[in-house]
Amino acid sequence: MTQDFDILIVGAGPAGLTLARALSGQGLHIGVLEQQPQSAVAHPAFDGREIALTQRSAHAMQKWGLWQRIEELEPTAFSALRDAQVLNGSHPFAMVIGHELSSRSELGWLVSNHLIRQAAWDTVQLAIEAHHDIELFCECRISRVRSNDTHAEVTCEDGRVLRSRLLIAADSRFSQTRRAMGIAADMHDFGRTMLVCNMTHERAHEHVAWEWFDYGQTLALLPMNDDPVTGMHRSSVVLTLPSRDMDAVLDMEDNVFNSDMTRRFAGRLGAMTLTSTRHAYPLVGVYPRHLVAQRFACIGDAAVGMHPVTAHGFNFGLLGIETLSQALIQAHAQGRDIGHPALLARYERTHMLSTRPLYLATQAIVKLYTFEHPVARLVRDGMLRLGQRITPFRRAIAAQLTGLH
């Protein structure tokens, strides 16, 4: 038996669920396919990651109700990202990107990834109650994907066949759906692993984010609101090391880890104390050769898998959701084909123009600032000092961080 939909979305992560929410209430029948059990999607566990949101992304999340839901779940969840600083090596000098370079009192906001996932699930449930236009298929493993001029078709391992006018991949940067549709992707494995966790510390961060390209390691500090129970200053801490060196850090006892991180941050925040579980992620950048195919499109990490150093991964995901959902809603309202090649080509062109330049620039930045040759160290230090002197350059970075450019 075949079930028909207007749109099928593969992946019930934050991108897939947010797209479903954005499309709900517009007269479209939407199916969302997810291989995990419903309990894992409905109750996402803490995964260590804090997401930096641009002002534009904050507005989009407010429009779709995710922001309000997160505030209901945790009133202190959103922490202001007022300023940002970039450091190199052991030098105290930093290039500072201040909020005064923008039109806002903060560059953006920080919020835990698991709360975004929870809010995405919850707002989809509200949309289902209000409009009855979204169907969720959890524990659904796909065995075949194909498309023709009139529809796309997904066959599940349990024998179900789901058909739609448009199929959308939102199933991670390593998307099997994208691959099944014959779209190749350029992947860059940085050979490094990122450890993320929450820590308290003695000295205030003043809501300044750090990106510290130290020698042999990269450190990041994402300022969170003070711990609501203890009142201690608190941050999301990110340590990036060559993958071969990470296991030793992950295996440390908590008290040893605390001392090690205090040392790695050169005591600049005073004593640091672990307050969460530790999580590690391999760093791999992914950019597909195409974002669309016949009756098919990619969103979220399936469209752009960013290195986290510029904090634009989820922001690009929301940008793609905005671009594609607006095009689909308009086409459907006008009685046009939501899977027409011209519509998909416009989405691909718009999203690539918005994301590819920064993706390539990020690759170059990471290569330069992790290359340990003495000449490279001098060059990157000189570039930071020059950048600090050129206000238009720093203003351009501020515009990227706020998303208001």
pLDDT, mean of residues 41-65: 95
* 3-class secondary structure per residue, 90-142: CCCCEEEECHHHCCCCCCEEEEEHHHHHHHHHHHHHHHHHHHCCEEEECCCCE
Q: Closest by alpha carbon to 123, among 68, 85, 74, 165?
A: 68
Q: Closest by alpha carbon to 7, among 357, 366, 327?
A: 327
For residue 390, give the 3-state DSSP assignment: coil
Q: Closest by alpha carbon to 233, among 256, 260, 265?
A: 265
Least confident among 118-127, 214-223, 321-330, 346-355: 214-223
Take residue 330 and report the two structure tokens written for it: 């308009």
pLDDT, mean of residues 320-348: 98
Whether the predicted pLDDT of 369 surpasses 70: no
145/152 Cα distance (integer angstroms)? 8
Least confident among 44-48, 88-92, 285-289, 376-380: 376-380
Q: What is the CATH number of domain 2-46+118-187+287-363?
A: 3.50.50.60
For residue 37, give the 3-state DSSP assignment: coil
The band of 383, judged by pLDDT with boundaries at 50, 70 and 90, is confident
Residue 363 Cα distances to 213, 242, 320, angstroms: 14, 16, 20
Q: What is the pLDDT of residue 405?
A: 61
* 3-class secondary structure per residue, 208-252: EEEEEEECCEEEEEEECCCCCCCCCEEEEEEEEEEHHHHHHHHCC
Take residue 127 and report the two structure tokens written for it: 């949309």
Q: What is the pLDDT of residue 310?
A: 66
Residue 319 Cα distances to 19, 48, 389, angstroms: 11, 23, 31
247-298 pLDDT, tens digit each:
999 999 999 999 999 999 999 999 999 999 999 999 999 999 999 999 999 9
pLDDT, mean of residues 151-167: 96
1-50 pLDDT, tens digit each:
789 999 999 999 999 999 999 999 999 999 999 999 999 999 999 999 99
81/398 Cα distance (integer angstroms)? 11
Q: Kindly report the number of other CB atoms within 10 A of residue 159's CB atom.
A: 8
Whether the predicted pLDDT of 311 surpasses 70: no
For residue 298, give the 3-state DSSP assignment: strand
- Say which residue the tokens 């309990």 belong to: 39
The band of 392, judged by pLDDT with boundaries at 50, 70 and 90, is confident
247/252 Cα distance (integer angstroms)? 9
The one-letter amino acid at 21: R
Is the pTM of the predicted complex or chain greater than 0.85?
A: yes
H or E element at residue 361: helix 341-370
The band of 177, judged by pLDDT with boundaries at 50, 70 and 90, is very high
